[in-house]
């Protein structure tokens, strides 16, 4: 993408560029059940983990310890492999002491995969646990419970004007990696420095890998916007399956 795309596709709790779309058509709208995490018995959490006896499948002790105790909603991005752009997004909500999966969608991440040391333009998505506080898009608020920053001009100006990418930023949720919270997702502030990248978003899928963002189909984005509640302290837990399981 052009230099302006570095803005578009951002407080780090664990682990470590912007989202540059490509020209392939969007992927399917639903994830095959066989690719979602198995629904077997969850493993017990460590004493240092949030105040719960259970945790979602595929998340290891080290990663789980970074999830705040007050969190009751999780967006988990399961990357297929550390060098793959393909993965799944799953929504979990806390029910008593267990986490119930209430949604799942096919997803894409950085075209070169994942990293625990993200830098601008490395085309990898940062592994870690990050808060979700701000959303927005080129389309009007669909009922977001997160603060929603609508600006059709700002988001449209960052979109590659092709048929495949015309709607990439219709809806976005900022990942709080190297960004200031309480401001629009497209705010340029980079607390850890520009070289550490920023502008990491969840946004609409365009069919393949990104420069660092995570993308999913529109039904998934609308569900996340309407479900994620600031009072539930939502976070995203994301990475390749190997490092998620540590």
Q: What are phi and psi of 128, to 5 degrees?
A: 155, -170
Higher-pLDDT residue of 17, 19: 19
**Are 233 and 68 in contact, with CB atoms under 8 Å apart?**
yes
How confident is the model at residue 160, as a pLDDT? 62
Residue 67: both structure tokens together: 């999830």
Residue 112: both structure tokens together: 């070169």
Cα separation, 78 vs 104, in Å, equals 10
Express each pLDDT in 30-75 by its tens digit: 444 334 444 333 333 333 344 344 899 999 999 999 999 999 999 9
CATH architecture under which domain 61-244 falls: Beta Barrel (2.40)
Going by pLDDT thresholds of 50, 70 and 90, the confidence category of residue 16 is very low
Q: Compute the average pLDDT of residues 124-149.
A: 98
How confident is the model at residue 69, as a pLDDT? 96
Tell me whether residue 143 is exposed, middle or buried, using C-beta atoms within 10 angstroms of its C-beta: 0 to 12, 13 to 18, 19 or more: exposed
- Mean pLDDT across the chain: 83
Q: Which residues fall within 8 angstroms of residue 126, CB to CB, at 6 or more apart?
A: 12, 15, 16, 114, 115, 116, 118, 177, 197, 200, 212, 238
In sequence order, the β-bridge partners of residue 53 are none
**Are 48 and 243 in contact, with CB atoms under 8 Å apart?**
no
Indicate if the pLDDT at residue 220 is higher than 90: yes
Strand 98-108 versus strand 86-95 pairing type: antiparallel
Express each pLDDT in 156-210 by its tens digit: 777 666 667 778 999 999 999 999 999 999 999 999 999 999 999 999 999 999 9
């Amino acid at each position: 993408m052009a230099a302006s795309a570095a803005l578009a596709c951002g407080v780090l709790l664990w682990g470590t560029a912007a989202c540059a779309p490509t020209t392939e058509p969007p992927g399917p709208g639903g994830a095959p059940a066989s690719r979602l995490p198995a629904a077997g018995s969850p493993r017990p959490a460590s004493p240092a983990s949030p105040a719960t006896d259970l945790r979602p499948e595929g998340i290891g002790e080290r990663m789980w310890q970074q999830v705040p105790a007050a969190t009751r909603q999780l967006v988990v991005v399961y990357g297929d492999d550390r060098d793959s752009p393909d993965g799944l997004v799953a929504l979990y909500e806390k029910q008593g002491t267990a986490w119930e999966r209430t949604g799942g969608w096919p997803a894409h991440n950085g075209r070169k995969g994942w990293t625990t040391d993200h830098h601008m333009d490395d085309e990898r998505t940062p592994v870690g646990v990050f808060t979700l506080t701000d959303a927005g898009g080129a389309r009007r608020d669909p009922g977001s419970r997160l603060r929603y920053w609508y600006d059709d001009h700002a988001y449209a100006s960052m979109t590659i004007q092709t048929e495949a990418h015309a709607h990439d930023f219709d809806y976005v949720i900022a990942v709080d990696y190297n960004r200031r919270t309480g401001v629009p997702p497209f705010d340029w502030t980079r607390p850890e420095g520009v070289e550490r990248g920023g502008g990491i978003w969840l946004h609409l899928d365009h069919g393949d890998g990104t420069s660092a963002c995570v993308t999913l189909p529109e039904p998934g984005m609308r569900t996340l916007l309407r479900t994620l509640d600031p009072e539930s302290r939502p976070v995203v837990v994301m990475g390749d399956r190997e490092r998620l399981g540590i």
